Amino acid sequence: MGLPEYEVTAVDEVAGQVRIKVRFKGRVSCPHCEGTKLRLKDRRVRRPRHESWGMRRCFLELETRKWRCDSCGRSFWQRFPGILPRLRASEPFRRSVCQKHFDGISRSRLGKREALSSATVERWFGWYLRLLSGEKTSTECPRILGIDEHFFTRRQGYATTFCDLKNHKIHDVVLGRSEASLEGYLHRLAGKDRVEMVCMDLAAGYRALVKKHFPKARIVADRFHVIRIVNHHFMASWKEIDPEGSKHRGLISLMRRHRHNLSPDQHQKLSAYLKEKPVLELIYRFKQRLCYLLKEKHHNQKKCRQLAGRFLRDIAFLRDSGLAQLVQLGNTLHSWREEIACMWRFTRNNGITEGFHTKMEVLQRQAYGFRNFNNYRLRV
């Protein structure tokens, strides 16, 4: 039955419903003083819903008694494990309904199938999620942390995800992405000294927060975002040099790619175009070199030192180039040079956090959007 300390005395089927008669075998004691000298006052039958048997709805039939305690003089109705007072469903049944809702069956469909109202399903689900979050073992800060923002609602704006990159788990979700809105949460957070590494995209606000609250942590930039920003500025600068050519769809796709992703045909096509524009060819070559430099990973200290030299020369080249977009890129890379250099030493990136964001979007779609951030957080 999924309940301890009960004995089944009879099972019969009435009008397509299974009725299980059960008897409680445990000892009865006063809930106020634990006394066992009791006198019987009244009796009544409870019929809570229980886990379905296949397609048939299932009810328990359980006699409950009212006792008077001789030690403290108070009266009480007998309590049962797994069937809470005044509830008309047993805990295994509530859990099974919540599990189905968790797996994606909408509450109205579930309500129709199980003869419950959708509001009941929602109320139970809140209880279930609080139960699950209570079972969560560790509340300490993870050693390797991923931080990223994601969109929540139009009214409440963005939320920030704190992700445990080592164990592939979400640590917490907090509403807001600005310093002011995260300050309170980070202030309360326990075990901040444990954090050794924080992975993030190129957001200056997060960097300032991390430096302030995780003094021992090393910040590592996310490779995907660094290469994306290089590509973005390069494409914008191409638009300034050749406004006509940069509208060509085929060329856009070729220019954006890494060199190793081009087929021989595509390579030829691109070379033919670049030959007409020597300045652009120079910039293109430079961008390819820079991207390959940024793709380097898990190197030792000596190799990293060489790479750092190359990287600093590249930044200097960008800042002296005289093209507005490239100068801007050079300045961005300059301000993040330490975090980017950490990418060569470590392999971690924020891909796990981004993957969780996809799952969180699915949750939002399943629920047809959340209004209450606490419900959303609990669900995540």
Question: Which residues of the chain form contacts with Zn ion (CB under 5 A)?
Answer: 30, 32-33, 35, 69, 71-72
Helices of type H across 214-300? 223-241, 249-256, 264-276, 278-294
Cβ proximity of 149 and 159 under 8 Å: yes
Q: Which is nearer to Zn ion, 33 or 279 (CB)?
A: 33
Q: How far apart are CA 167 and CA 175, in angstroms?
A: 23
Given the DSSP bridges, would you call strands 144-153 and 157-164 parallel, antiparallel or unpaired? antiparallel
Q: What minimum distance in Å lies between the beta carbon of 85 and Zn ion? A: 16
Q: How far apart are CA 61 and CA 21, in angstroms?
A: 5
Q: Which is nearer to Zn ion, 68 or 166 (CB)?
A: 68
Residue 57 CB partners (closer than 8 Å, separation 6+): 16, 17, 18, 49, 114, 115
Q: How far apart are CA 18 and CA 85, in angstroms?
A: 22
Q: Which is nearer to Zn ion, 66 or 345 (CB)?
A: 66
Q: Which is nearer to Zn ion, 35 or 157 (CB)?
A: 35
Q: Which is nearer to Zn ion, 65 or 143 (CB)?
A: 65
Q: Could you tell me how far CA 1 lies from the centroid of its own chain?
A: 34
Q: What minimum distance in Å lies between the beta carbon of 91 and Zn ion? A: 25
Q: What minimum distance in Å lies between the beta carbon of 75 and Zn ion? A: 9
Query: Which residue in 317, 338, 318 sits closest to 328, CA to CA?
Result: 318
Structure tokens at 121: 């399903």
DSSP string, 312-370: HHHHHHHHTS--HHHHHHHHHHHHTHHHHHHHHH----THHHHHHHHHHHHHHHHTT--
Q: Which is nearer to Zn ion, 66 or 194 (CB)?
A: 66
